[in-house]
C-alpha cells in the first residue's frame, strides 16, 4: 500500500505497539481490528507524504532549480566518458594521418578539398585514407584500454572544437601527433 518495504515494517510495528496498549476486552474481532488499524496507518502515512510533497513544491523556487542545474550540469558526464573512450579507440586503431582525416571529415564535416589543403595530400588519397579508417574502425568489437600520452590536451582541444568551433587548435594538435609519429619512424 505504501510502496516501501521499510515504511510498511514501521507501520506494522507502530500498529503492534499500539495494540499492546489497547484494552483487548473491548475488541470483538482481533483480526479485523488489526487489519483496519494497519490500513488506517498506511492511509495516514500516505496523506502525510502528500502534504510534505505539496509543502515542498509550494516552497520550491524555480530559479533555485535553474541555478542548481547550472552549477551541477550532469548531462555531460557520460558523454565525456563516451567521447574519451571513442577517441582512445580511434587513437589506438588509426594512424595519425588516418585519425586526422577521419575526425575532421566525420565529426566536423570537412570536405575533401579542405582536407587536401590541411594535410597536403591529394583528394583521392584523403578519400582513400578516410575509407581505410572507417574500415579499421568497423572491425572494432572489443573495448580497448590505453593510456594516451597527451590524452587531456587532445580531448580538451577536441571538446573546444566541438563546443566552441575552435577547430584550428584541434588541427594543430592533429598535426603535432602526425609529426611525432613521423619522427619515430
The DSSP annotation for 31-84 comes to HHHHHHHHHHHHHHHHHHHHHHHHHHHHH--HHHHHHHHHHT--THHHHHHHHH
The answer to whether the beta carbons of residues 146 and 88 sit under 8 Å apart is: yes
pLDDT attached to residue 58: 78
Q: How far apart are CA 38 and CA 12, in angstroms?
A: 6
* Mean predicted confidence (pLDDT) in 47-67: 77
Mean pLDDT of the chain: 80
- Per-residue pLDDT of 71-110, as tens digits, reads 555 555 566 677 777 888 888 888 888 988 998 888 888 8
Regarding predicted confidence, which is higher, 182 or 100?
100
Lowest mean pLDDT among 24-38, 43-57, 80-94: 80-94
Q: How far apart are CA 85 and CA 171, in angstroms?
A: 20
Instruction: Specify the residue for cell string 590541411.
Output: 118
- Per-residue pLDDT of 108-160, as tens digits, reads 888 899 988 888 899 999 999 999 998 888 875 554 444 444 456 777 777 77
The DSSP annotation for 115-137 comes to HHHHHT--HHHHHHHHHHHHHHH
The answer to whether the beta carbons of residues 146 and 91 sit under 8 Å apart is: yes
pLDDT attached to residue 29: 92
pLDDT attached to residue 31: 92
Read off the pLDDT band of 69 (50, 70, 90). low
Amino acid at each position: 500500500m505504501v510502496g516501501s518495504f521499510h515504511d510498511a515494517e514501521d507501520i506494522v510495528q507502530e500498529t503492534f505497539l499500539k495494540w499492546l496498549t489497547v484494552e483487548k476486552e473491548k475488541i470483538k474481532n482481533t483480526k479485523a481490528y488489526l487489519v483496519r488499524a494497519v490500513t488506517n496507518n498506511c492511509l495516514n502515512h500516505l496523506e502525510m507524504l502528500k502534504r510534505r510533497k505539496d509543502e515542498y513544491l509550494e516552497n520550491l523556487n524555480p530559479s533555485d532549480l535553474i541555478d542548481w542545474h547550472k552549477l551541477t550540469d550532469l548531462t555531460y558526464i557520460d558523454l565525456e566518458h563516451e567521447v574519451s573512450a571513442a577517441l582512445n579507440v580511434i587513437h589506438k586503431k588509426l594512424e595519425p594521418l588516418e585519425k586526422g582525416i577521419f575526425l575532421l571529415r566525420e565529426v566536423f564535416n570537412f570536405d575533401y578539398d579542405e582536407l587536401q589543403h590541411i594535410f597536403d595530400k591529394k583528394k583521392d588519397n584523403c578519400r582513400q585514407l578516410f575509407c581505410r579508417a572507417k574500415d579499421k574502425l568497423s572491425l572494432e568489437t572489443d573495448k580497448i584500454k590505453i593510456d594516451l600520452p597527451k590524452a587531456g590536451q587532445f580531448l580538451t582541444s577536441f571538446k573546444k572544437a566541438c563546443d566552441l568551433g575552435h577547430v584550428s587548435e584541434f588541427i594543430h594538435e592533429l598535426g603535432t601527433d602526425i609529426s611525432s609519429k613521423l619522427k619515430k619512424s
